[in-house]
Structure 1
Amino acid sequence: MKLGARLSMSGSDPCGAQFEGLAKGGLKYGLWVWECDQGAATWQAFLVQAGAVEDRSISFGVKFTPADVRRADWAFWQTTGFTGYPQPQGTYKQSTYDRAGACDVCDDYADGKRQIAPFRMRGEPPLGRRSIMQLHWVPDAWFVTRQAYEVVFAPFGIAARPALTKGGRELKSVVQLVIEEFVPVDEYRIGGQICDQCETFRPSVRLTNYAPAPLLDPTGPLAFTTTTYGSGAQNFHETLVRRDLREAITAAGLRGTRFHPCGSAEARRDFQEKTHVPAELMKADNIVRITPWRPPGSAARPNLYETDGDSFAHSTSVRTTAGTDASDAQAQRARRLLAQTGGLATPAALVHMGTSFYAADALDDALTAFGRAAQAGHPVAMSMTAHLLKDDDPVAAEQWWRRAIEAGSPSARCDLGLFLHEAGRVEEAQTLWEAAVAHDNDEQAMVALAILNWDTDLPAVRRWLTTASERNHAHSSYLLGVIARDVDGDPLTAQRQFKKAAEGGDADAIEALTKGSGGSPHAQP
């Protein structure tokens, strides 16, 4: 088992040439692309130089040996390639699945995806030498040749359903495996996407370690995860496959599939320690920041507690919108999961549950889930626990934020600074924000410092806001527009900054564009 890294950057960047001799690759299609794996003698040097490049994209992938796969009790079952599309392409979901409870935005199902009719294809799929296939857009539907089904899958008691042509004729070459069990997994990835409407959090698909293991053993050899994955309107459940079925698939020589072994938290930690990847590189690749507490401020002037529209300041997985039917359904699912897993739920899984409770405004449940994860040492949970306690127990809230800082939470310094500023402890708040900028490159802390020094150090204010704006922090662009309009007397630049901020969802910028109003640079927070 070893880790591999892929670095890419603009072909016009002269820094790209420095990786010659450290990694395989070069200039391709206008991009520098370099690949290196953990076994290379240049691995550490490659990581060090990659970390020093500012404008770059780096991704990680893990490779397992056959022995690694054999040792695992469970594994994620994945295809080596997709063939064809479900028919009819525009409406296959409506004709194939029970759509009750499906979200209109992300297409997630509150109680799991339930198939009610066979899939349809254009015709007999071109399998070549493969015995296992999947359709594009549907990574949780498995099709196998009839011979493979009879020899390998039927003896395990796995049912099959027919697949049809677009016109309704039963296909002769393949059948679909029936998988109806859903089980929770020890999902540890905190990066991913969250739906604005139903608040469903979908972890990042990319795995840079062992796959999360099932928290409860499935009753059969195949099961779906209760967690959904994917991006945009495509979502799917990962498929868990038991060791004995994997061995049968491998022994029969069935092609078209691969396995990503599941591992315990201890196994994942051991592997992470062996890879020696700098934390900041791995964060840039697969961790999306959960930013708790961004209280709304006045839309009429710069305010330390301003948000980017209706979302928090960074890429987030906690939203302020609460109480919708969809988020209530997510909270119900989280309650069932919490009851199912009991004390087995890992800190990361508890954070996901807490996020669902928080979105549904079930704050007592959220505090229970985040509190358990915080006690187990999860830094994001510590910050969320502090946020939930700040009104009722400010002393405990401050303690949790300080513990979160020590544990490495990327948002805790800024959040504690907001908390202390609101309590009148301005100098302490400024010290924390300066540390948040220095240690975490925190855009919200930059904005807080800019507003705090609005009337006393305009050059520093411009510098902080410009840096945050370059990183697509919407409200900083709005404030630059206020400076351009009211200080510089430059309405064209102001309009351009307001437009940029409005495209990022900033409510003040939208109001400035629609009503011709905006904040005053001399208003006090």
Structure 2
Amino acid sequence: MTTVTTEFTPAEFAGADHCALHVVHASGYPQPEQDFSFRERAYDLSNWCSKCGEGAVQVAPFRIKRSLKWGRNVFLKLHWVEEACFVQTSVWAEHLASLGIARLPVEDSRGEVLDDVVQLDPGPALPLSLEEEEGIRCGRCGRVRYPWHERGFFPAPVLSPEVPLFHSAQRFGVEHQSANAIVVSATVAAAIKGAGLRGAELWPCVPSTQIAGDGR
């Protein structure tokens, strides 16, 4: 299977006001994992669609096993949970806390708060510049999800938010495995790249100059 993607130049990164943060290092499963029962524990599922995955709202800390494999990575995602970004507490404190990125607690499988790992607070849900006809409408709930972005600049936010990190109102992916994108400001992206933090890839959003040139 051939995958076509895009490599960006330093100038293209520098010209982007925002970047999508795509966590690529995965280890472990949310607890309890049997029958996906972590969903009922961590989410409000009153508006959740089991077909497309839209509508679940996190209301409790994720629980994980202490045996997660980090390797040389500082960012991590769990299998089955694409939209939650976990990071070592020491890295959050040194590189991200001062930029205004908040954290959420993470618990072990018994419900004890862990001191060495946190979840990055996903921030507000903000829309990206996408047209509904570009997406796929769910036959059950009628909501739209989008194929995961694989080429070119990532869609930019409709408005330029003054927050260091937010998640997209739209979801990307396939049925049962769609997720909100995590988007960070240029300042946060520069800090991640400058410190060489591993486990996530940055994907620059459409530069504001290009949006202005398109008349949007």
State the TM-score, normalizing by the size of structure 1.
0.38
SS of match in other structure, 1:212: coil
Residues 187-245 of structure 1: per-residue CA shift (max 9 Å, x gap)? 25855432111111211103221111011122310001111112111221101100011
Identity of aligned residues (%): 30
Task: Quote how far apart the aligned CAs of 1:267 are.
Answer: 4.2
- Alignment partner, residue 287 of structure 1: none
User: Superposition pairs for residues 412-427 of structure 1, below 5 Å?
Assistant: none
User: Superposition pairs for residues 102-501 of structure 1, below 5 Å?
Assistant: 102-109=48-55, 113-187=56-130, 190-263=133-206, 267=210
Structure with greater helix percent: 1
Residue in structure 2 matching 1:94, options 37, 40, 58: 40
SS of match in other structure, 1:133: strand
Structure 2 Cα separation of the partners of residues 253 and 62 of structure 1: 20
Unaligned runs of 5+ in 2: none
User: What one-letter code is carried by the residue in structure 2 that aligns with 1:156?
Assistant: L
SS of match in other structure, 1:94: helix
208 and 172 in structure 1: CA distance in 2 versus 1, 3 angstrom threshold: same
Task: Quote how far apart the aligned CAs of 1:173 are.
Answer: 2.3
User: What one-letter code is carried by the residue in structure 2 that aligns with 1:236?
Assistant: A
Q: Which of structures 1 and 2 has the bigger CA Rg?
A: 1
Task: Quote how far apart the aligned CAs of 1:68 are.
Answer: 1.9
Q: Do the aligned residues in 2 keep the contact of 1:190 with 1:203 (CA within 8 Å)?
A: no
Unaligned runs of 5+ in 1: 1-7, 9-34, 36-58, 271-343, 347-525
User: What one-letter code is carried by the residue in structure 1 that aligns with 2:86?
Assistant: F
Computed over aligned residues only, the root mean square deviation of the Cα atoms, in angstroms, reads 2.4
Structure 2 Cα separation of the partners of residues 96 and 154 of structure 1: 24
User: What one-letter code is carried by the residue in structure 2 that aligns with 1:62?
Assistant: T
Say how many residue pairs are matched. Answer: 212
173 and 124 in structure 1: CA distance in 2 versus 1, 3 angstrom threshold: farther
124 and 169 in structure 1: CA distance in 2 versus 1, 3 angstrom threshold: farther
200 and 190 in structure 1: CA distance in 2 versus 1, 3 angstrom threshold: same
Residues 109-158 of structure 1: per-residue CA shift (max 9 Å, x gap)? 1xxx4311111112242211111111122221111111111111111222
Structure 1 Cα separation of the partners of residues 19 and 132 of structure 2: 17
State the TM-score, normalizing by the size of structure 2.
0.88
* Matching of residue 73 in structure 1 with residue 21 in structure 2: no
* Matching of residue 61 in structure 1 with residue 33 in structure 2: no
Structure 1 Cα separation of the partners of residues 128 and 202 of structure 2: 16
Task: Quote how far apart the aligned CAs of 1:80 are.
Answer: 2.5
Structure with greater strand percent: 2
266 and 156 in structure 1: CA distance in 2 versus 1, 3 angstrom threshold: closer
Structure 1 Cα separation of the partners of residues 204 and 131 of structure 2: 15
